[in-house]
Amino acid sequence: MASMSCKLYSDDVSLLVVLLDTNPFFWSSSSLSFHQFLSHVLAFLNSVLCLNQLNQVVVIATGYNSCDYIYDSSLASNRTYESGGMPAIFAGLLQKLEEFVMKDETLSKEEPEGRIASSLLSGSLSMALCYIQRVFRSGPLHPQPRILCLQGSPDGPEQYVSVMNSIFSAQHSMVPIDSCYIGPQNSAFLQQASYITGGVHHKPQQLDGLFQYLTTIFATDLHSRSFIQLPKPVGVDFRASCFCHKNTIDMGYICSVCLSIFCKHQKKCSTCGSVFGQSQVEATNTSNLKRKTPES
């Protein structure tokens, strides 16, 4: 997938925006510790930057209550190199990540009842797309942008509308969304995001080899992907979440005006206020009766 090819540096130069899941509720119960996960990710980021000196990496932390930028390789402060020739991304990234995690944990000391312990994926996707749009408008040249979601937390049905809006915005801008899901169950949100935008979705079977999955699948630039075999989507979960109870449903009712989805029949759309079916007929009859009733 190409995006505004006339403005690219070259076919193999990438702008990789990584969404890093830092949800404390997920990592407290995961078989892979957050420290191990981070070591795989940092090695992967170094490999991406070493593939091409013009490659750029941006990291956005996705927490339970908030999300924030924690690293941008294009900043002058992040362009220093260590004696080994590798970009010195560890110090600044780890410091900002630690500050973010501490701040996010103070906002989510206890998991509220009735809410799934999901990360704020919709927020981080919006931030990634905003950053990419700034790059598009910054000058005549830019690298090939793509988004990589490193997610372990379950989907949050209450974020369905926001996530889908971000997915369609990425599709319109021709920005692929890759996704690597490391949670116990697969993610319908990420499956749909990768399928719709032309990205790659993969759920690693061996988390100990996460670095190998990341480098062999997600480090590949968009131009090179046409020459290699990458995992193809199998059994994408296209189920939606209802707007009334935020539950994932197989069948439901759709408002013909605003396309809101409901798990049960409603007399009136809670989103746009449209009156449905028989309720609309009853409302019209009531209005006609009021007009025919003589004033006293």
pLDDT digits (tens, 9 = 90+) for 128-147: 999 999 999 887 788 999 99
In single-letter form, the type of residue at position 15 comes to L
Q: What is the pLDDT of residues 208-222, one digit of tens each?
A: 999 999 999 999 999
* DSSP string computed for 101-147: HHHHHHH-SSPPTTS-----HHHHHHHHHHHHHHHHHH-S-B-EEEE
Structural domains for the chain:
5-238 (3.40.50.410), 241-292 (no CATH)
pTM above 0.85, yes or no: no
Is pLDDT at 56 greater than 90 in this prediction?
Answer: yes
Q: Which two tokens stand for residue 210?
A: 């996460």
Q: What average pLDDT does this structure show over 79-93?
A: 60
Beta-bridge partner residues of 72: 58
